[in-house]
Chains A and B, each alone.
Chain A
Amino acid sequence: MMVLIAICLILAAASGTAVVLTREPVHQTIILGGYGLVLSVLFLLLQAPDVALSQAAVGGVALPVLILLTLGKLWREARRRHRRAAIADERSHGS
């Protein structure tokens, strides 16, 4: 049991580092989900199944959903502003 807990702790440290080192937001969200899964297994090994359930549900579903929806909104706004700026550019240069 202690060996399993030690392995899981090392995995948690490794996946946490992986989350920090991932730069692309969407990729980071997926890695965050994996980190949440490792934490959930760690809590299960530490004999806290309630906490493990909470972590799996929130870290696997709620957090990625909110992050990805917000990212989608931000990118849409950026794309629209970019498009509007491009159209304004065309008009001012064409006239």
Chain B
Amino acid sequence: MNARVNVALFVASAAVVGVGMLRAAGRLPVFGSHLTSYARVENAAAPSERRTPNVPTAITFDYRGFDTLGEEFILFAAVAGAARILDRWRERGRAHHLIEGEPHDVPPDSGDAVRAMALLFGVGTVFLGVSVVGHGYLTPGSGFQGGVVISAGWFLIYLGFGARPFRRLTANEPTDIVEAAGAAAYVFVGIGGILAGSAFLANVLPLGAYGSLLSTGTIAVINAAVGIEVAAGFIALYAHTLDVARTERLRPPGVRR
């Protein structure tokens, strides 16, 4: 098929799909006018039952907490799988070494200004992320969002200082332990629900006052656990990918001579 047939085919199908979408969009209710029954129930229940103004967080960590457990382990398994695959580049004995001092490793003109700005913004971003995680059930954002922001701030250290200081701050063992601890904490909170005589992941801790940091029972604990796990998981991902980019191999894994 040559290019003109392709373009003609695209224009024809785009016209059909476009007309259909415009007609469908015309029949949509005005944005925000039609609340589903579930939305109405949640808006009424979450602030009063769970003492949290952040209804999505209450849904993800309490009402649908089991689904979020599965999602968190998707992230956990993805990072573990990627780390395993990327580690094969470093495992095979003699034929590899880390490249030091190449232009790729440290930004060429990394002067004091770059390092100062990286430190300022990196630490600031980490604090912003900790704030997003800590206020997860009070303000928008929760464990996941705050965790990604923390990992982004941490990665700024690499951009300013180079790979070796960054890898010293994110050694494989501690990062993996922290990530696993965050994932395990979620499960243990769930088991705590069973031990307290209720269901798995039931909210059994005292609920506290609406709008204060000590509120919402288990949501606060799960929120912190998810924040830690996501931050450590993303940092591990960056660290392993960075290692592969820095490693010289004479032969890629799986190729036999």
Residues of A within 8 A of B (CB): 1-2, 5, 46-47, 49-50, 52-54, 57-58, 60-62, 65-66, 69-70, 72-73, 76, 80
Contact = CB atoms under 8 A, between A and B. Distances in A.
A50 B148 contact: no
Nearest to A68: B245
B234 A5 contact: no
Interface string B148-172: 1101100100000000000000000
B237 interface: yes
16 contacts: A47-B32, A50-B54, A50-B57, A50-B141, A52-B140, A53-B141, A53-B145, A57-B152, A61-B151, A62-B151, A62-B234, A62-B237, A65-B238, A66-B241, A69-B245, A70-B245
Given A73-B244, A76-B104, 11 more contacts: A1-B31, A46-B31, A49-B141, A50-B54, A54-B145, A61-B151, A62-B151, A62-B152, A62-B234, A62-B237, A66-B241
A82 to B, nearest CB: 15
A12 to B, nearest CB: 14
B144 interface: yes
Which of B56, B238, B241 is the most central at the interface, judged by chain A CB atoms within 10 Å of its CB? B241
Nearest to B89: A73
A50 B56 contact: yes
B30 interface: yes
A32 to B, nearest CB: 16
A2 B245 contact: no
B52 interface: no
Contacts of A46: 31
A58 B148 contact: yes
A80 B149 CA distance: 35
Nearest to B244: A73
A76 B31 CA distance: 50
A65 B152 CA distance: 10
